[in-house]
Amino acid sequence: MAITEINCELTRRLERIAGLELRENEPLARHTSFGIGGPADLLAIPHEPRALCEAIGIAHEMETEPVFLGNGTNLIVRDGGVRGLVIRIAGEMGHVQMEGEQAIVEAGAPLAMLCCQCARKGLTGMEFAAGIPGTLGGALIMNAGANGGEISDVIEWVEVADRSGSISRMASEELSFGYRRSTLRELGHAIIRARLSFRSGDPAEIHEKLCDTLSQRCARQPVSSPSAGSIFKRPEGDYAGRLLETVGAKGMQVGRAAVSMKHANFVVNLGGATARDVMGLIEAAQNLVYEEFGMMLEPEVCVVGED
């Protein structure tokens, strides 16, 4: 069956799912923090876990591998877009249920909202995430962290849907969390929700720490410019930003993409940048560091789609 025929049949079946918003030829630039990326043939936005699992199950039956998207904050979508199905798990599946010192949090919940709710409840453990713009699901996949903390520090279990849409629960110790990695990324499962465990603290102190962390992030990073966050992982024993600054990468530009003058490990969209611009700039920066230090920086951002 031709791709267009498969998409037509997939669309017909997905349209029957209650609680699933479906868009055809949706520009993914609208759904990434970079503001770049071509269209998805189909973009499905589940409003509840049941709709998510049904959509995954139908895709599996039709031998279609969906691409999962959160807030698109650690992502580069190539200019040709994504053929087939993209499933966006963001604010529509972002319910947070606080239970004493614990919380059941859906994958689409923004980390910023979770930080604020914990502060109001006098719960400590999420302060490291102040200013991180992604969702819980994205944070779990890459074990997001900053300021000496990681999301894995507060996870008890994660509920996932496998490629057939079947739900299972994985304990924290099964997830093999490491630096910017977890088993979840390798398995390719869709994250539904997780249980997080915190500690009681003083609300005023927690709020102050959140504000301090956020202020430091704003001072050091180009938070007001479209970007995908840190471009490269931290190399062992050093920092990507330091290496890039040493080789003069700050201010480098390809097309309308530029290395930030505020932080050399950030690439920003100056307005009208393409994914090709960004990828060309990433390669040029890698080559500069390799020529000077003999070290090839490893990208932290995920790249999906076609040229």
Q: What is the mean pLDDT of the chain?
A: 93
Residue 259 · residue 249 · CB < 8 Å? yes
Tokens of 94: 């972002």
Which pLDDT score is estimated for 4?
A: 67
Domain at 224-304: CATH architecture: Alpha-Beta Complex (3.90)
Residues 220-248 have a mean pLDDT of 95
Say if CB 160 and CB 170 are below 8 A apart: yes
Mean pLDDT of 100-111: 96
* Banded model confidence at residue 3, pLDDT cuts 50, 70, 90: low
Q: Which position among 180, 193, 195, 234 bears the catalytic label?
A: 180
pTM, 2 dp = 0.91
6 has pLDDT over 70: no
Alpha-helix runs per DSSP H in the chain: 3-14, 49-61, 111-121, 136-142, 183-187, 203-220, 240-246, 275-293
CB atoms within 10 A of CB 24: 11
Q: pLDDT (tens digit, 9 = 90+) per residue, 57-71?
A: 999 999 999 999 999
Q: Just give the CATH number of 95-206.
A: 3.30.465.10
For 198-220, the pLDDT digits (tens) are: 999 999 999 999 999 989 889 99
Domain ranges of the chain: 3-91, 95-206, 224-304
pLDDT at residue number 131: 86
Residue at 131: amino acid letter: G
Domains 3-91 and 95-206 share a fold: no
Determine whether 300 is an active site residue.
Answer: yes
Sign of CA dihedral 205, 206, 211, 216: positive
Write down the pLDDT at residue 59.
95
Residue range 29-78, pLDDT digits in tens: 999 999 999 999 999 999 999 999 999 999 999 999 999 999 999 999 99
Mean pLDDT for the stretch of residues 141-147: 88
180 is catalytic: yes
Instruction: Return phi, psi of residue 241, to 5°.
Output: -60, -40
What is the maximum alpha-carbon separation in the chain? 61
- Residues 33, 227, 230, 260: which is the catalytic one? 230
152 as an active site residue: the answer is no
- 3-91 CATH pick, 3.30.70.3340, 3.40.50.720, 3.30.43.10, 3.30.750.24: 3.30.43.10
